[in-house]
Amino acid sequence: MYIGFDFGTANCSVAKMAGDTPSLIPLENADFYIPSTLAAPTRDSVSEHLFRHRHIQPADAVGERLLRRSIALNREEDIDIEFDDVLFGQAALDLYLRDPQEVYYVKSPKSFLGAMGLHEMQLSFFEDLVCAMMANIKTQVEKASQQSVEDVVIGRPINFQGRGGEDSNRQAQNILHSAAKRVGFRHIEFQFEPVAAGLEYEATLDQDKTVLVVDIGGGTTDCSLIKMGPSWRNNARREGSLIAHSGQRVGGNDLDIHLTFKQLMTPFGYKSQTLKGLEMPTTQFWNPIAINDVSAQRDFYARENLVDLKRLHKDAQQPEKLARLLAVHQDTLGYHLVKSGEELKIALSDERHAEAKMKVMAEMLSVNVSRDEMIDAIEAPKSKMINLVLEAVKLGGVKPDAIFMTGGSARSPILRSAVEQALPGIPVVSGNYFGSVTAGLARWAKICFA
């Protein structure tokens, strides 16, 4: 059996072909989309879980060292890893929200895969995270379909990272490939996510067109200018139809982070002052919510930073606000805050005003935000997305006949309006915002493996 596998930043999904039609496979209860999240008792639980309960061997000598260290640390802490101790998807998120200080939680490991300058143990650990999530999904797919799965097409962005170029892309794709091999996929292909989405849109066309596919996902914005239609459908050699690509690590997560930073960090001391009248350092409010930045997260949650936070609390004009920031550090609440920002963004897509609620310690914080304030807060990432749209058209040198928008964040009327203003007079269409990439990957898998 072959599948298309969208290992997404926000969600993962899988599809198989039922005749000529892609069919999504349920991955968590009856849901077709599983959040890209993992929760475990400790960071060191993941590698041992893979080895002890999923019977997945380390990839190399570095992985073996990581496993030995993880087992030793778990024994020191008297932690005996059971199969159900490592959770995925909504179950992982629910556990984190119930008890954030007692769980190791990670969201969107795909965001980290292209980060440069990581040492070999970090890379090995990221591979184990991906491997654990893939193993869970493969198990669910085989359970639902009652078939073993060996052949897979995995989606990938045009660029995994803003920096690092092709070295970054190779590193990230190698991690995905190695993890897929370890969980039991034998034949593995990759396809650009916007190209896959284009294949799904192409299936609806009765004449050839030049289409700009704009895929705004949780972690990246990717654009592909593609010739498509009946002349190209089911063609294994698509090189001549691919006119231009652009892509960068800026997506829905960045909208959530910027909105959280600009509108929700004031109760934690953002823009407040010390007793000497100096403004609090901005990085202390950005780093905890920069959940897609490895170095920012490391810096904020480091033990050394706790000393700095306590000093700022002592020197603050409004110490009660810095006490909340200390709680963010101690209870690992960064993901919790960004989740509030995401919910606020969704509410403000339909309403002129909305209220964000955040529980910190025993306190429930409420912040009222207007849609205009949200639009101002997300201006920087929104501008990057629109520049990528324009870049693809400029590189291709061809005006598209249509713009096909897909990806979860493409549902935003603010982003859709921005695309329409950037490329006026070109019809903007959409399909299944969440499923177009997955369906297109399944179509490509049929071409590759059937």
Instruction: List the domains of the chain with CATH numbers.
Output: 2-185 (3.30.420.40), 207-251+380-429 (3.30.420.40), 253-377 (no CATH)
| β partners of residue 353 | 370
The pLDDT assigned to 100 comes to: 87
User: Is it the case that residue 245 has pLDDT exceeding 90?
Assistant: yes
- Confidence label for 349 from pLDDT (cuts 50, 70 and 90): confident
d(CA 23, CA 32): 10
d(CA 399, CA 46): 48
d(CA 429, CA 122): 41
pLDDT tens-digit profile of 85-96? 999 999 999 999
User: Is it the case that residue 345 has pLDDT exceeding 80?
Assistant: yes
- Which residues, 6 or more positions from 50, have their beta carbon under 8 angstroms from its beta carbon? 56, 128, 131, 132, 135
Question: What does residue 220 show for φ and ψ, rounded to 5 degrees?
Answer: -135, 160
Going through 157-286 in order, the beta strands assigned E by DSSP cover 187-192, 209-216, 221-228, 242-248
C-alpha 99 chain-centroid distance: 22
| β partners of residue 244 | 225
- Confidence label for 162 from pLDDT (cuts 50, 70 and 90): low
Mean pLDDT of 68-78: 95
Give the lowest-confidence range in 44-53, 135-144, 162-171, 192-201: 162-171
Residue appearing with tokens 């239609």: 229
Q: Are 140 and 152 in contact (CB under 8 A)?
A: no
- Confidence label for 163 from pLDDT (cuts 50, 70 and 90): low
d(CA 412, CA 51): 42
pLDDT tens-digit profile of 283-314? 999 999 999 998 999 999 999 999 999 999 99
Mean pLDDT of 193-203: 97
d(CA 178, CA 100): 31
Residue appearing with tokens 């008297």: 78
H/E element, 6? strand 2-7
Q: State the chain's mean pLDDT as an integer.
A: 96
